[in-house]
Every structure is written in structure tokens, then in C-alpha cells.
Amino acid sequence: MRSALYVPGDAPGKLATAPRRDADELIVDLEDAVPLAAKAAARRTVADWLATRPRGPRVWVRVNPGERGHDDVRAVALPGLTGVCVAKAETVGELAALDALLTGLERERGLRRLGVVPLLESAAAVLDAPALARAPRVVRLQLGEADLRADLGVEPGPDERELLYARSRIVLASAAARIEPPIAPVSTDVRDLAALRDSTRALKRLGFRGRACVHPAQLPVVNEVFTPTPDELARARDLLARHEAATAGGTGVCLDDDGRLVDEAVVRSARRLLAD
């Protein structure tokens, strides 16, 4: 997964065109993008769209926290849904309650197992990331940095180093729980695509795999950054071939074409690149 595009749940026109965008996944938003008075109508809009949409990218729905989120889930737990993103998730208990609700809906409606992505948007959620990563159904974590910045009272500079701890903690918690790597948080600047490319590359170096986007114009840049180049793929294949030859010869290490040591840890990264 390279890119996920947020789509407002109360915008039928945008929902209709979203599957034709070059996003690997869609995140249909029933939370911040939808005013309180429009939430019930948005649920019906999303349910109708799920029932009629053509084949395309995987679809997640971002649901509201608490009981309102359970109402969202009851409305959109339908065929064609990959899972739900839980806004402002903070405790394992609320994710366990969601698991129970989803289990009942799957049994009642004959659905396949749905995934859960907690959105960590507070200091408490970031500190509890290791436990949240191991909660029922959780397939990956995601940071909601707008709310997190407000909760922490930070004002990031150009290199956003103020958010480095939170970002790295999410990556570490995901790896420790053996779930998918997290997708990177959104950039709300939809015009400066050069800055988007730079920040996306930095997030990739931190261990994020893919990025959420708030505008279709961001998708080509994010897809480019997270698509391996032919040279990267060729280098990974060469490392595997060298390692296999070394192993066949009775040693676990070899050198790459630049004379650098290659061992199982380096080979593991190459295998992951080729698998992606």
C-alpha cells in the first residue's frame, strides 16, 4: 500500500469519482469531514455507495469515537468494506468493544473479517501505542497529527522534529506487535508538492510505508516515493542471489558490488522490498 485518499462521506460526487483516482486505498470519512447535523445522512450515503461501487481500491471508513462510532459501524459494515479507522482511539477497552460489535455484525450479515486501524491523536494514545497495536483486529496504526499537535501544544518547524518521538514510537510499536507498518500522516498543504515529496521521503526513512492524502493532487507524489525504482529492485535481487550463493558455499555473509558486508539482516530488507 502506497497511498490512501480521504473522501468526505457526505459528498456523493466525490465518492463516485474516488475509485478512479490513483489511490491504493480510500478512507471514507464520517468524522471530522461531516458536520454533526449531517452524520445520519452521511451514513446512508456511504452505505448506498458501498452497495453499488465498482471494483477498485480497498475501502476503509473513518468512524467517530464512542457510541456514535458504533452507529457508524452498524450502518457501513457491508460487503466491500475492508475495515474501519477509529478516530481518537485511546484504550484497548474501546477496541475490544468494537471487536465484539464487529463479530456480531459479521455473523449476522455473512461478512468476512473486517480490520481495524486506530487513529492515535492524543498523548495518551501515543504512549499506549504498544498495547493498542496488540488490540483485537488491529492491522496497523495511524497518527492523527492535527489533534496530537493541539494536545501536546507543539508548533512544528520546517523539519518537524518536534513530532519525531511520536512518529518513531508508532513505527516501533507496529514492528513489535508484528502488524503492518503504519501509513504516514497527512499533509494539509495541497499546493507545495516539492515539500510533500521531501517530507514523504523523510517519513519513509523513519519506517512508514505509504501515506494518507487529503487531495488527489498529492497521490502521484506519494505513489512515486513509495514505489521501488528499477535500480532498487535490481539491487535487491542481486543481494538475494549473492546471499544464496554464499549460503550454498557454507557461509552466511558476502559482499555487495560496493564491497559492503551483506548478512541476514540486510537480506531481510531486500526480501521485504521485493515482497512489497
3-class SS at 143? strand
Question: d(Cα 276, Cα 209) in Å, to the nearest integer?
Answer: 10
Q: Report yes or no: 147 and 170 within 8 Å, Cβ to Cβ.
A: no
Cell of 235: 539491487
3-class SS at 54? coil
pLDDT tens over the chain, length 276 residues: 899 999 999 999 999 999 999 999 999 999 999 999 999 999 999 999 999 987 889 999 999 999 999 999 999 999 999 999 999 999 999 999 999 999 999 999 999 999 999 999 999 999 999 999 999 999 999 999 999 999 999 999 989 999 999 999 999 999 999 999 999 999 999 999 999 999 999 999 999 999 999 999 999 999 999 998 777 777 778 777 777 777 777 776 777 777 677 777 667 777 777 776
Q: Does domain 3-225 have CATH number 3.20.20.60?
A: yes
Which residues make up the CATH 3.20.20.60 domain(s) of the chain?
3-225
pTM exceeding 0.85: yes
Q: Report yes or no: 56 and 4 within 8 Å, Cβ to Cβ.
A: no
Edge-first strand order for the sheet with 83-86 is 142-143, 115-120, 83-86, 58-63, 25-29, 3-8, 211-213
